[in-house]
Amino acid sequence: MKRLFLTVAIVFLSLTAVLACDISITVQGQQKSKYKTGEDIILKVKVTTIHKGCKINVADTKFNTEGLKIISGTDWVKVDDMSWERTIKLQVTAKSGEKVKFGVVRPCGAMTEEFIEFKV
């Protein structure tokens, strides 16, 4: 019985990973070890739909911020058949020692989320 449960769990986790999108977040320019309040950070977000028949439009991708304010962003640009990129300009609103986090959420398959944190 335990073996059956373990097998089902492994199959479920494997399918969940297959159905998820791949999200990457990279800092444009040189990433600093520490940022100051009011400084700008420019990020490139790339979403690759692993499952070809994704029903969720790339425009439905959500951004969550903590200690950051979104200043501007480009439109999504199609890179290839399954990948899209967008540049986001952020401003640090957190004070020294406060948490600073930028997250990207796709409500498809396994609710894919990726985030990046910064020090202030």
Domain boundaries defined on the chain: 2-118
Q: What pLDDT sits at residue 47?
A: 93
Taking residue 94's Cβ as centre, other Cβ atoms within 10 Å add up to 20
Question: Residue 16: pLDDT above 50?
Answer: no
DSSP class of residue 82? T
pLDDT tens across 58-108, in order? 999 999 999 999 999 999 999 998 899 999 999 999 999 999 999 999 887
Once rounded to an integer, what is the mean pLDDT over residues 42-60?
A: 86
Assign 35 a pLDDT band (cuts: 50, 70, 90). Answer: very high
Taking residue 77's Cβ as centre, other Cβ atoms within 10 Å add up to 12
Of 55 and 78, more confident: 78
Sign, CA dihedral 57-88-70-50, equals positive
Q: 13: burial class by Cβ within 10 Å (0-12, 13-18, 19+)?
A: exposed
Question: Residue 19: pLDDT above 70?
Answer: no
What is the Cα gyration radius of the chain?
Answer: 17
Place of tokens 């989320």: 113
Question: Closest Cα to residue 101, out of 89, 87, 114?
Answer: 114
Global pTM value: 0.80
Q: Which CATH superfamily is domain 2-118 in?
A: Immunoglobulins (2.60.40.10)
Q: What pLDDT sits at residue 3?
A: 59
Residues composing the chain: 120
Of 83 and 51, more confident: 83
Strand partners, 102: 65, 116
